[in-house]
Chains A and B, each alone.
Chain A
C-alpha cells in the first residue's frame, strides 16, 4: 500500500502536474487552440487535470504494468499513456458520431493530444525509473 501511494500517487501526480504545464506551454507555442480562460485559471486547471491523468496512468501502470509487452519502465509508461489516450479519443469519436453538432473532431488538436500522451508516458517513465525494482512494475 505504501509503495502504491509513493510510486503511483506521488510520482504520478508530480509527473502529471509537470505534464499539465508542458501542455500549456506547448499549446501556447503551437497556437492550435486559442485559450479562452485566463492564465491563472488555466494554470490551476491544467495542474489539477494533469495530476489526475498522471495518477491514473501511473495507477494503470502499477496495477496492469506486468501485462504490457515491454520490460523497461519508460516504454511501458508510454504504452499505457498512449493506450488510455486512444481509448478516451475513441470515446470522443463515438460522442462526435452521436452528436456531430456538439462534438467536433479536429485533426491538429488530435495530433497535439497524441504527442502529449507520449510526453506524459515519457515523464512518468523518467519519474518512476528509480522505483521500478521496489514496486515490481
Chain B
C-alpha cells in the first residue's frame, strides 16, 4: 500500500516536473537556435525567433 502511494506521488509530482524541464530545454534550443545541440535548428526556426523578439544575426 505504501509503495503504491509512493509511486503515485512520484507520478504526480516528479514526472510532470521532469517533462516540463525537458520541454523547457527544447524551448531554449529553439529560442537561441543552438546548432551544437540540434543541427539545423537555427535555420529552421529563424523566422520564429525574430518574430518573438529573440536576438539573432
Contact = CB atoms under 8 A, between A and B. Distances in A.
Interface of A: 1, 4, 8-9, 20, 23-24, 26-27, 32-33, 35-37, 42, 45-46, 49, 52-53, 55-56, 59-60, 62-63, 84-85, 88-89, 91-93, 95-96, 102-106, 109-114, 116-117
Interface residues of B, number: 28
Nearest to B49: A49
Nearest to B31: A88
A63 B12 CA distance: 10
B55 A95 contact: yes
A49 B30 contact: yes
B contacts with A: majority SS? helix
22 contacts: A4-B15, A8-B16, A23-B51, A32-B51, A46-B51, A56-B20, A56-B23, A56-B27, A60-B24, A63-B17, A91-B28, A92-B32, A102-B57, A104-B57, A106-B55, A109-B53, A110-B53, A113-B53, A113-B54, A116-B51, A116-B52, A116-B53
Contacts of B24: 56, 59-60
Interface string B25-48: 011101110000000000011111
Interface of B: 11-12, 15-17, 19-20, 23-24, 26-28, 30-32, 44-48, 50-57
A93 to B, nearest CB: 7
Given A37-B46, A45-B44, A60-B20, A91 B32 contact: yes
A62 B11 CA distance: 14
A45 to B, nearest CB: 5
Given A1-B15, A63-B16, A91-B32, A113 B51 contact: yes
